[in-house]
Amino acid sequence: MLMAHPNVLRDLLDEYEQLLILRAEQDSPQIAQRLEDVAYTLCISTGTKEIEQARTVARRQLAEASREGAG
């Protein structure tokens, strides 16, 4: 399976979490659509079908990339 570059995963996770906060503060169709788009991209990037699983896999891949980079 192809793996997304760690910087891409980090950016997607950050954006997803920022959008969750923004949606809690002011829900709008634009925010909801962007959140859905980022969730979809995270799922595709991690080979998963559910956003929570995608977030878990992305975090694991980032941790692995960090360990490999430190070694």
Q: Rounded distance, CA 60 to CA 63, Å? A: 5
Instruction: Pick out the chain residues at pLDDT < 50.
Output: none
- Per-residue buried b or exposed e for 10-42, using 16+ beta carbons within 10 Å of the residue's own CB: bebbebbeebeeeeeeeeeeebeebbeebbebb
pLDDT value for 3: 81
Residue 6: predicted pLDDT = 95
pLDDT value of residue 20: 97
Does the pTM surpass 0.85? The reply is: yes
Show me where the domains of the chain are located: 6-70
pLDDT of residue 1: 62
Confidence at residue 68, expressed as pLDDT on a 0 to 100 scale = 85
For the chain, give the percent of residues with pLDDT over 70: 96
